[in-house]
Structure 1
């Protein structure tokens, strides 16, 4: 996934997401803003990386490497993209140099998306992963929510407490596609 941090690969992905978001909009509707597509792209990418991290904690699997060069993906839209993650050599997840940190920085600086929005995306992804794991495997719910809480406690991530009542303090901007604040995610500050 280190190639994703190159402008041409990231911009191509954002533009594909932008076109997908515009599908079904009336012909006279304004185009989807680049920063909206960039935020939605960021959310989808980090959610796919964070979900196995949260699951790892719940199921007691070995630590994973979140370094971009250790993550291998197939660049597909429309659901979870195929992802391969290496076991961490040093026994813990490297958050500081992780794909999540690099991607957040790149989207903030190169695509002009607010860091607050991106930090909320990371937090929302962690909480959502924990909730899905808890529903699928209630016996590991406590561990999954603990893993999500540890992500929400990291610098550069919107803080909070994972669980059913979690509300982010920012919005991923998806409502701007329709222009209707009723079209927001379940954990949105606008909901």
Structure 2
């Protein structure tokens, strides 16, 4: 008889994939202990301001040189990656679903790397789920995260592109760490990209490369808005030029 791994074992296996997957756990309904804070809309908005300052300092520019929506997009992409990566890993590793709301997450909003995350110990589903059920995660915590970005004038096209980019990045890291999961990971990503929340957010170039259909705007944080483009950016020539700002 094959026994399903415990929630703790699933979390440990996810965490072993790397810093973008790492999860701590806490008791449901517990208050965050020192250094941990709830992932509230107010603190997400405060992080946008902190990221704006960090980007200005990195480019040795005044704060006004960094557009607020650029900082908001960078913030959204980073948090979307941290939320989505372990959720994708839970499914491709064991067919399990991570179920939690954004307010259930405890985090340490440090700058300059993947933020530490803690989820309720009950967040891992007790049984396996069908692939289509993973789309609930896109409407759940990621939908709540997108709603927190509304004050910053980010289009839904950019937000969807950020999620698609985060999804592709997570899939690439999983395949690198666990090559035997490559096919399952990619088929899951294809299903999610074809789902209503992400449909038309990305495409594949003639040489098989992933391309989002919007820009995350981070190139605009560099002096003169002349920063490097991300590898999956729509602004690359093979993606057909500038769209979806």
Q: TM-score, normalised by structure 1?
A: 0.85
Structure-2 change in CA distance of 1:112 and 1:123 (3 Å): same
Matched, 1:188 2:233: yes
CA contact (8 A) 1:75 1:81 kept: yes
Q: What TM-score, normalized to structure 2?
A: 0.68
Q: Distance in 1 between matches of 2:65 and 2:103?
A: 34
Q: Does 1:42 align with 2:79?
A: no
In the alignment, is residue 4 of structure 1 matched against residue 4 of structure 2? no
Confirm or deny that 1:18 pairs with 2:62.
no
Q: How far apart, CA to CA, are the structure 2 residues paired with 1:100 and 1:57?
A: 16
- Mean CA deviation greater in 150-159 or 164-173: 150-159
Tell me the equivalent position of 1:95. Answer: 137
Structure 1: how far apart are the matches of 2:97 and 2:69? 33
Offset at residue 51 of structure 1 (A): 0.6
Structure 1 residue matching 2:137: 3-state secondary structure: coil
Gap runs ≥5 in structure 1: none
Match of 1:130 among 160, 171, 177: 171
Displacement after TM superposition at 1:149 (Å): 1.9
Structure 1 residues 12 and 114, CA gap change in structure 2 (3 angstroms): same
Higher mean alpha-carbon deviation, 71-80 vs 39-48, is at 71-80
Q: Does the 8 Å contact 2:138/2:197 carry over to 1? A: no
Q: CA deviation at 1:153?
A: 2.1
